Amino acid sequence: MAPGPSLDAALRVAREFDLPSDQVQRGVDEFLSQMAEGMAKNGTNLSQIPTYVTSVPNGTEKGLYLAVDLGGTNFRVCSINLRGDSTFDLTQSKVAIPRDLMVAPSYKELFKFLAKQVESFLETHHNEHFEATVRRRRLTGTTDEYRREEIFDLGFTFSFPVHQTSINRGTLIRWTKGFDIPDAVGQDVCLMLQDAINELHLPVRVAALVNDTVGTLMARSYTSPGKTETVIGAIFGTGTNGAYVEKLNRLTKLNTKGEPAADATQQMVINTEWGSFDNNLSVLPNTLYDQQLDAASVNPGIQMFEKRVSGMFLGEILRLAILGLAKDATARLLRGDGTLIPTDSPLYTPWGIDTSFLSVIEADTTSDLAETKAALFEHFKVSNASTDDAQAIQAIGHAIAKRSARLSAIALAAILIDTKRIDTDETVDIGVDGSLVEFYPKFVDYIREAMREIKGIGEKEKKVRIGIAKDGSGVGAALIALVAHKGYAIESR
């Protein structure tokens, strides 16, 4: 049977999201040049931020640490016991960040909320410790005259662009992922949290400021099989970003004050902030739907790579594409007899489609796409969608996610080429984290497929190992808190 009108039109839209090999290649070339620019000066698309993390773990690290993670969608609090044999125990709690705290005139409410989560975590999971120290500190009003071993060192995973000046100091450069709290920009991120923690007299020291990409890199390096050190940590969650191990002497912008150049063996983890790769759109694809999404976002013109790749945006791109087709009378999408879209359908609400919907429809292998139809009804109140409609939506969702994976390959491949890691005989390990890469079917396979098409990678793609850094942000933050306060771990020594 020939495809019906809605499927024909949808396949045309799906093709708009194709990213052919030559465009991937141009992306890599541009990424390489923007990396170089970011190493030499400030204010570039790729910020190439020094993280002050100068070594990666090998699995023997030990100790008990607290970690918190402000991701974009959720806030997690956890305690991690590193066992020193590449394994760990982790206890965690997770809450969704209330929308009204993400866009607010003052940062105080948000950080107060975060500190309260830490408080209830300690009460629930470390009650003995909590009772003993908090009661006393509240009685005496003490905040800094305490015995060091009573204090938890906390790694703060803060996944927004920060100008970092030491392991636990850094000011917010800009908000991303829909956050907008103007008075926080330019403030020290650790101090905002430490102040809120001190208000509650909690026995917690913010010891390290951690970007989630760096945490992922560290966690993967601690847990990854064998002796191989991890080269890249990458996030594909609400947002996307990556960090990698770089030779310090290539970071020439650090060396503007006439300091002697770092010696050739010194390394530092660099946070690329690749979400802002190619903000000027010299190589990135730019469909009508990308343009609509950007225009309606809180930060038009910024994070243009992220807006084509990460979880916060893929659902919205699909929504805009569906709406475009549904409005087009000749396309006949969702216009069959008996098909009904009520006016209060989330299809009509900006950000109304969560990217998890793309995973659900991609995984639907039923012959009449019953699961897709059920999801259309359940999430969007669309009743009696036809099989053609379901196929149409599946095809577009697939194309959007595949484009995202192929764009992701650009960033990963460029770093492997730039650092020459791909040219050694060893396995190249990449740690990844985030719901998109974890749950979207075959996301990593699509990345690998695109990598093989890139000059300088090709067959060598086989040497690349890509693995999820499970609980990466917690474990990674613990590892960095450990590096920051080596010797002051809370465990009895």
Task: Choose between 345 and 356: whose C-beta lies nearer to Mg ion.
Answer: 356
**How many whole angstroms separate alpha carbon 404 and alpha carbon 442?**
12
Q: Is the dihedral of CA 99, 110, 185, 305 positive or negative?
A: negative
Instruction: Look at residue 355 and give its three-state secondary structure.
Output: coil
* Active-site hit among 6, 47, 159, 224: 159
> Taking CB within 5 to 8 Å according to partner kind, which of Mg ion, ligand ADP, none is near residue 74?
ligand ADP
Look at residues 154, 114, 119, 115 and name the one whose alpha carbon lies nearest to residue 133: 119
Q: Calculate the CA 210 to chain-centre distance.
A: 13
Residue 312 binds which one of Mg ion, ligand ADP, none, with CB within 5 to 8 A depending on kind?
ligand ADP
Burial class (CB in 10 A: 0-12, 13-18, 19+), 364: middle
* Interface with Mg ion, residue 237, by CB under 5 A: yes
From the candidates 136, 174, 452, 465, give the one annotated as an active-site residue.
174
Interface residue list for ligand ADP (CB under 6 A): 71-74, 237-238, 311-312, 315, 354-356, 359, 434-436, 439-440
Taking CB within 5 to 8 Å according to partner kind, which of ligand ADP, Mg ion, none is near residue 143? none
Select 234 or 326, whichever has its Cβ closest to ligand ADP: 234
Question: What contacts 24+ positions apart, CB below 8 Å, involve 130-137?
Answer: 130/203, 133/203, 134/201, 134/202, 134/203, 137/201, 137/203
| 212 is an active site residue | yes
User: Could you say which of 38, 71, 397, 474 contacts Mg ion (CB under 5 A)?
Assistant: 71
Whole-angstrom distance, CA of residue 488 vs CA of residue 167: 15
Please give the structure tokens belonging to residue 65: 């640490």
Alpha helices in 91-188 (DSSP H): 99-102, 108-125, 127-140
Binding-site string for Mg ion from residue 339 to residue 378, where x marks contact by CB under 5 A and - marks none: ----------------------------------------
Rounded to 5 degrees, what are φ and ψ at 283?
A: -130, -20
Identify which range of 53-61, 68-76, 89-97, 448-456 contacts Mg ion by CB under 5 A. 68-76
Closer residue to ligand ADP (CB): 246 or 354: 354
Residue 159 a catalytic site member = yes
Binding residues for Mg ion, rule CB under 5 A, total 3
Nearer to ligand ADP, 9 or 430 (CB): 430
Q: Which does 476 bind (CB under 5 to 8 A by kind): Mg ion, ligand ADP, none?
A: none
Q: Which stretch binds Mg ion (CB under 5 A): 90-98, 204-212, 384-392, 421-429?
A: 204-212
61 vs 212, beta carbon nearer Mg ion = 212
Q: How far apart are CA 323 and CA 10, in angstroms?
A: 11
Q: Which two tokens stand for residue 327?
A: 């409005």
| Between 50 and 397, CB nearer to ligand ADP | 397
CA-only gyration radius of the chain, Å: 24
Both tokens assigned to 92: 């965690």
Cβ count within 10 A of residue 59: 17
**Which three-class secondary structure state does DSSP give residue 61?**
coil
324 counts as binding Mg ion under rule CB under 5 A:
no
Query: Closest residue to Mg ion, Cβ-based?
Result: 71
DSSP category for residue 258: S
Task: Check 69, 153, 188, 212 and give the catalytic one.
Answer: 212
| Least distance to ligand ADP, CB of residue 63, Å | 24
Query: CB of residue 102 vs ligand ADP: minimum separation in angstroms?
Result: 11
Using CB under 5 A, which of the segments 75-83, 147-155, 206-214, 282-290 binds Mg ion? 206-214
Nearer to Mg ion, 10 or 219 (CB): 219
Helices assigned H by DSSP within 16-54:
21-40
Residue 174 among the catalytic residues: yes
What would the two tokens of residue 483 be? 């590096």
| Residues that are catalytic | 159, 174, 212
Residues at the site binding Mg ion, with contacts judged by CB under 5 A:
71, 212, 237
